[in-house]
Structure 1
């Protein structure tokens, strides 16, 4: 019976009822000190679900001894359902088989998937199991899970939706933080509940009061001290409850025979309860299973089948901490010699090492490589760190710290990567080694948002890198430099890598050489559109799509980003996808597909959070800034953590605050890319509206030069619009309107038509003005560009337009859908199955079906067959 846990039990019961009755999923993290009753609440949840037909309970308990074995926890959780792997999509099944079997790519080849594919596979597998009834996953002692398992389970938990799966985690107070999961703190029992807990122990009032005082309301302490009665540890010194409980266990252990204590120590050091290893070490040390009899009778351990389990982790801690160091080392040596598992053998050899030992360090390095090949990068980083500390040779130690830094970087842990890189740097003066560590530090700085510093570091260190690393570092440094405006670093990269078209083209643009720079980059984009990329390669297409955006080639950018996103989905490359989706969303915003861009960005932000990359969220959110500016959503834009002067200037321009717009836009750094050149066009209009034409002439020359170089119809049309503003002439407006008819960027077209309509009205050509103004109103309405729509309607009324100034439009059914419903509906309309859609969107099939179920009534249909008759693809611009 649980005392004082009514609220906690109700919270868990609600989650389980949602899964059982409505197919809802949920996750919850129980947090509290050792002995507070987290495991008891997990047991309670298992008992509640066990009453249902078809229900399934899967359990895993973190074991400190297995924290250095990649996917040890996943094996424990999913081994009973491993026969269900054949039903998973190919890349997911391959990833989960590798996790369960311990196999990875042969040789030095990296995995053909990223580290999140296993998490998606777990999500799909749990959803499949839930087809037969609700599924409950209980994850106890999360603080001791291996890093690969923890990351995998977190990914699955964050993406739960409508599968009928509940995941409950239990962790110590100071562990497993920053997960993003809802948390339930487990507090100590109050006096009344603690007294009820002790009611059956037959304690005298004096002893009961001492137990209540010493235990502090901790249920484990109450039980142990209540059982001890008057034989409590000395309470003269105030110790934390955990230490007092351990002291209580140690007093019990001290009363046992020497052989029993030794056998307990072997079990504590082995940690997993794996009988063959235990008995092998026991035989070598002259003890056996029979020596555990008194420990069993005392309730310290349970022996069943092929395993030994301590009653509570603190019992194991008491056994291990209470043994002298020499005895612990002897036990680890015996366990190492008896272990058949290479990873376990490496762990015990490391625990038995008295000082640096290269043989042991090699074993740990081999274990790290096994973890790496299975995408267990966090585990690999930890093992490389251990290997470094055991390395006698300082150069070898530094190399292993460097490898730990690389693994930490791949695991998405920049702080750890920087720490390892610092330790490695202190052990070497080799220029190539220092260059490699500089690469790590530069990536860390970029992830933290220090992009200019990252660009300088990357380019400076590239000068000392090996030939193989040098080109990659210079390209990365050039990209960092371009995005941050660090022109000297970009020029230096180009000088150091003269034959690289990508770096050279960017440097020429930065140096205002449009004549030579634009053709170089345009050629790269054209070549990419004609090339079929190899499976699994992600960087080149996304890089080229971003080049297309720089050049204002919206169609190429959207095409390349869409192809790259599809390949990431096909190959399960989840970690790379948020960046690709950002590029895709930028192209969608540029071409006026705001609804699509919102769906794309929401998916990207969700994936960034679910993969533990929260720093990417602000970068992704910045794409919304231009949409907010177009829509005149001032509060939304100003609340964004990352907003450009261009977006703020456009907002002020739309709201008619021209002096403020000019101030923001003149502060935008000069750069020959589509984003900044759009700000230049806005600056020209703001200067003219503010009555300062002299501040528009130089920006107009820059914009015209860029438009002539890139030869994009929308850019040429916008240049003509800006010229018309200065010339106060109809002819440039007329040319611009004609160009816009075959161009992308409807917002720019509508703005040109608005300005042309205003000019025609002022020229007393009211009838002629109505046609461009009506067209502008239609576009502004579709883009929800309220400030601009209000201006266009006012202009149309000023021409004497009678009746409603609103252009009648058919209701857009797709606007009724949520972003995720929109994604699902579009894929389903193509005839793609729910299972295939789930694999593409990294959801479970049941969640896909849930979104379709919610979307059908909004679209006025009831089946996939009817969906196929609707037009659900974005309209072309």
Structure 2
């Protein structure tokens, strides 16, 4: 290295919101009750940082910090003394870092202390223990918060925070890939590079991750004093390296160890098993991936080669390892890093011909073949193939350095085009979509002369980027037929490169692409008659296909046609196929289509379940754009519930990515979710203001394929806000959309909109027509909304018997689909009729109180007794702001609008079925 960089502290904690949540909950509960929590994770993931954050965030009382050392038993005694000293006064937070380093006696005292904390009162214990070894039995029963490696985007954000964004993109990619989500390792890598290397002015003078950096972060976690244990650890580390998974066959490992140490005869399982390892189901794994990497990196090179050679021999003798793992172990047993042409060719050929191998393993094989290849063009092609497989495996942070390596050599246009295709697809999922569009167009032009099928894939993905950006003209251009002599490109579809190892699938895939292109362009041009047949054919092909790309296109075509059942089927089959192939790249997109289909069908709980899983999968795969889509779906699902703060959180996160990366579709969905939440909570003016920007003509109109879906919400909000005239023009557009036939709900929604605007002598008939159309289309939520509006209209015209029936139907529909905020409106209307004094059966709504959290129930009782918010805050030892926040949620959950109504509801509920005064959930 040419020098060392001074790395400043990060401004904030990155990628730990999920782990901060339980810690924050513990801190928030301490004014009322004690608790304890264990924070665990491998070395370098930030256990100490999280404890420091908790100590800084705690404001309700003192903080006691304890650490390991020779006086640990006395320290544990000090803990008990401190608990006794503060009992009955202010809450106490105790932070114990690295509790696993305490000796057995001290750990026992500490574990005993946790049993005394809750009875002792308002004391919280926050422990940090290592995750590179089995959990100590003393702490095994405590609730755990586990720190996982940061996602690639979070790691990149941390790197930018540490360096003020001054790192060159190629160097940034290598550091993020090498750190593998470990913040401390990322710090260590930064310190090992000079400022000139970080800025790309000098080439990196060594491997991005060396043994020294790994050992620095792992500390003593990787070491062992026993020679046999060291050989076992090394062999497991070497075996996992070629398995593309967290574990390996224990019998294979022990066979290889016997070859390394002929005099030894270790049993199965070995006794005692090194603490760094775990054995389950005949499989061995490291508790920590960082420790595994360190064990392999610090071992003597000749010993590593011996381990890989022993594993290859054992696998060949067993004849059960497959060609790729055996060849990889053979390649790593060679004496030097230089070219080994026959072995490189065999590795590449095995990766080409093993379509069923995991994508990650094939990426490793292609990359190793490239390292052993002398010819620059061939080496570039193999690095590109490795990047393709890494992207399919959901590892974009691994694909980017491989693409940089591919650029180093002189390569033909077809190879450069493939590299640009992978780069563009990576940007499409995790970058500005405008940049992705241009990169993909470049890829298409480079690929067109020699690889027309790949060029079509690139052009298809370019159209997808234009769709995401909301650029209708550019999307139509990309969907236009190709000039004579060439094929056209397809519409928005799964942006993935066809697996080069399955050429037999090309004709079927090409047919799907052609039909999808024709149908999609016709649909966007407003010609449903010419779109139905080709898109319908795409849907039908998906019913019998088994490739995830084809199934995803089937789901997309079904959504365009409004066939939500076919979209759900295609999405579910695509999800199963992607999981079976181990494609972490395609799983988030399959879940996205499933979530959209459930949303269109009005099944909000199912949409939320798919989107929650999809969000986790997208973040793991480093796909911030896909994650933004899932957050928008979650915001829409939450907009019908009773938690506006949840809507706001998802919307803020979705828009943060959408605005940076130009995701017009996400922006429209997120703004619609906010407006729908406002409408459900009885704020039509706010909803109309926000929706007007999306649906009314003008430069700020929403995404071309989404804004019409929000028109019924806008009409309802505008009418309730007294702004009838604003609806005229947009309602004409919506009537055209309903006549188009691509949205099964549109006809019923159109009749509802006309009823809202109609004079009294026509409104009743229009509402009834809308309900009849809903019966044909299905969908609980939209039908319940129409029934609610009709019931309100009837009640205000003094037709209570008819209103009661419709409002009861609306309430049942909202309850069935989890639309709590709308159910509260229906209950309010029924109460106004005298048909509902509390619960849906006419009796006190005792069940409604069970929806409240313990803190909300305490606040509701105090308010019902006549206490002001300030008096409640003083009684509960919380801030007035906290009481205000919880009281708003109480009003939304119970569907009440005044303190007097709340008092009556609580009184009726407790007279009907007394609830324990402890405040616990019944």
User: Would you say same fold, with TM above 0.5?
Assistant: yes
The structure with the largest alpha-carbon Rg is: 1
Residue number in structure 2 paired with 1:793 = 827
CA distance in structure 2 between the partners assigned to 1:273 and 1:164 by the alignment: 20
CA distance in structure 1 between the partners assigned to 2:382 and 2:558 by the alignment: 40
| Equivalent position SS for 2:287 | strand
| Equivalent position SS for 2:818 | coil
Specify whether residues 440 and 800 from structure 1 end up closer, same or farther in structure 2 by C-alpha distance, changes over 3 A only: same
Instruction: Provide the aligned length of Structure 1 versus Structure 2.
Output: 581
Matches within 5 A, 1:597-746: 597-605=607-615, 617-640=627-650, 641-642=653-654, 644-668=670-694, 669-671=701-703, 673=705, 675-710=706-741, 712-728=743-759, 729-730=762-763, 731-746=765-780
Specify whether residues 596 and 494 from structure 1 end up closer, same or farther in structure 2 by C-alpha distance, changes over 3 A only: closer
CA distance in structure 1 between the partners assigned to 2:226 and 2:604 by the alignment: 48
Residue number in structure 1 paired with 2:377 = 395
Specify whether residues 79 and 389 from structure 1 end up closer, same or farther in structure 2 by C-alpha distance, changes over 3 A only: closer
| 1:405 counterpart = 2:356 | no
Matches within 5 A, 1:279-678: 343=328, 346-347=331-332, 351=336, 353=338, 360-361=340-341, 363-370=343-350, 373=354, 375=357, 377-378=359-360, 381=363, 384-385=366-367, 388=370, 391-425=373-407, 427-428=409-410, 430-465=412-447, 466-495=451-480, 496=482, 497=488, 500-511=514-525, 513-516=526-529, 518-520=531-533, 522-524=535-537, 527-528=540-541, 531-533=543-545, 535=546, 537-566=547-576, 576-605=586-615, 617-640=627-650, 641-642=653-654, 644-668=670-694, 669-671=701-703, 673=705, 675-678=706-709
Specify whether residues 448 and 18 from structure 1 end up closer, same or farther in structure 2 by C-alpha distance, changes over 3 A only: farther
Structure 1 residues not aligned, in runs of 5+: 48-56, 83-128, 141-152, 177-219, 221-242, 247-263, 279-339, 817-877
Out of 802, 807, 830, which is 1:768 matched to? 802
8 A contact 1:69–1:371 mirrored in 2 = no
CA distance in structure 1 between the partners assigned to 2:287 and 2:330 by the alignment: 29
CA distance in structure 2 between the partners assigned to 1:6 and 1:702 by the alignment: 69
CA distance in structure 1 between the partners assigned to 2:362 and 2:335 by the alignment: 15
TM-score, with length taken from structure 1: 0.56
8 A contact 1:18–1:164 mirrored in 2 = no
Post-superposition CA distance 1:591-630 (Å, at most 9, x none): 3434434444444455556778787555434321111111
Post-superposition CA distance 1:329-364 (Å, at most 9, x none): xxxxxxxxxxx97545544657164xxx5xx24533
Specify whether residues 647 and 369 from structure 1 end up closer, same or farther in structure 2 by C-alpha distance, changes over 3 A only: farther
| Equivalent position SS for 1:639 | helix
Specify whether residues 764 and 81 from structure 1 end up closer, same or farther in structure 2 by C-alpha distance, changes over 3 A only: farther
CA distance in structure 2 between the partners assigned to 1:771 and 1:538 by the alignment: 47
My pick for the range that moved more, 759-768 or 714-723, is: 759-768
Post-superposition CA distance 1:252-290 (Å, at most 9, x none): xxxxxxxxxxxx989457352868999xxxxxxxxxxxx
Residue number in structure 2 paired with 1:169 = 287
Post-superposition CA distance 1:458-514 (Å, at most 9, x none): 245324422221222233333343343232332122113178231233333434x14
CA-CA distance at 1:737 after TM superposition? 0.9
CA-CA distance at 1:736 after TM superposition? 0.3
Out of 305, 308, 319, which is 1:270 matched to? 305
CA-CA distance at 1:766 after TM superposition? 3.4
**With CA pairs under 8 Å and 6+ residues apart, which has the higher RCO, 1 or 2?**
1
Specify whether residues 718 and 390 from structure 1 end up closer, same or farther in structure 2 by C-alpha distance, changes over 3 A only: same
| Equivalent position SS for 1:631 | coil
CA-CA distance at 1:448 after TM superposition? 0.9
| Equivalent position SS for 1:630 | coil
8 A contact 1:378–1:408 mirrored in 2 = yes
8 A contact 1:19–1:165 mirrored in 2 = no
Post-superposition CA distance 1:731-760 (Å, at most 9, x none): 221110111123222111111112222222
8 A contact 1:558–1:587 mirrored in 2 = yes
CA distance in structure 1 between the partners assigned to 2:272 and 2:431 by the alignment: 41
My pick for the range that moved more, 752-761 or 581-590, is: 581-590
Residue number in structure 2 paired with 1:100 = none
My pick for the range that moved more, 515-524 or 723-732, is: 515-524
Structure 2 residues not aligned, in runs of 5+: 1-68, 73-99, 108-128, 150-181, 183-213, 256-267, 314-324, 483-487, 491-513, 656-669, 695-700, 852-922
Residue number in structure 1 paired with 2:259 = none
Specify whether residues 436 and 768 from structure 1 end up closer, same or farther in structure 2 by C-alpha distance, changes over 3 A only: same
Specify whether residues 473 and 61 from structure 1 end up closer, same or farther in structure 2 by C-alpha distance, changes over 3 A only: same
8 A contact 1:578–1:607 mirrored in 2 = yes
